[in-house]
Each structure stands twice: as structure tokens, then as C-alpha cells.
Amino acid sequence: MAYFVGRGYSDGFTAHMAALLEALGPDTPVRLTVGTDAVCAACPNDLGGVCRTADRVVGYDRAVLDLCGLEDGETLAFGRFTALVQNRVLALGLRPGVCGNCQWNAICSVQPSRWG
């Protein structure tokens, strides 16, 4: 989300992601999950609630939760979540160690974080 520039797994996915970023304000409560979520809802890789690449993305999610001191299932304000991700992961240059083997890594490597 921090580096989204309108590209993704399908037109439906990118439209949904853009709408989600628009809808999520700093005070919007969000519940964290290492499973499929609101972002996945329009993704062609969401196979009935299970990600086609779950083995990899669950590792990404757990790494972010650990670095931020958060837990699976926790609910917090979206702004608090993005601040933690920005300050404890992205600003410290830790993102490549979390998800550097993702197919979109080249895009995220050259964009500024929208939360910076």
C-alpha cells in the first residue's frame, strides 16, 4: 500500500486498491490478519479466502507484525498502523528484507512511501 502506483494483479485489483486507499482515513479502525483481507477481496490470487501464494505472503505479514510489535488479529487505527510501518520498517530500510523477493519489488524500490 505504501508504494502503490496503480499497478497490480488485474484491473479490478488496482481499482479496488485505489478505492481502499481513498477510503481508509487515519482514524479508520482496521483489524490485522495474516490471512486474506480487504486488499485481497478483488485479487485473482484469492482462491476462496486462501492466497495462491500464502506460503510467501504469510511470511511477509508476520515479519511486519514482528517489526512493528503488533499481533495477528489486533485492531488499531489505520493511521497508527501506517506510522508504525513507516517508522519501524520503511524508514529504516528494512522493506527489502521483508518482501524483497516479491514480483513487485522493482516498483516499490524506486517509489517514495506515501506515508513518509
Query: Which residues in this chain contact ligand SF4 in the complex, by CB under 6 A?
Result: 9, 36, 39-40, 43, 45-46, 51, 53, 57
H or E element that contains 85: helix 78-85
H or E element that contains 76: strand 75-77
| Alpha carbon distance, N-terminus to C-terminus of the chain | 12
**Would you say 43 or 85 has its CB closer to ligand SF4?**
43
**Would you say 17 or 90 has its CB closer to ligand SF4?**
17
**Would you say 4 or 68 has its CB closer to ligand SF4?**
4
Closest CA to 33 of 81, 105, 80: 81
| Least gap, CB of 73 to ligand SF4 (angstroms) | 17
| Least gap, CB of 57 to ligand SF4 (angstroms) | 4
| Least gap, CB of 54 to ligand SF4 (angstroms) | 7
Contact partners, residue 28, CB within 8 Å, separation at least 6: 77, 78
**Would you say 39 or 70 has its CB closer to ligand SF4?**
39
φ, ψ for residue 51, nearest 5 deg: -70, 140
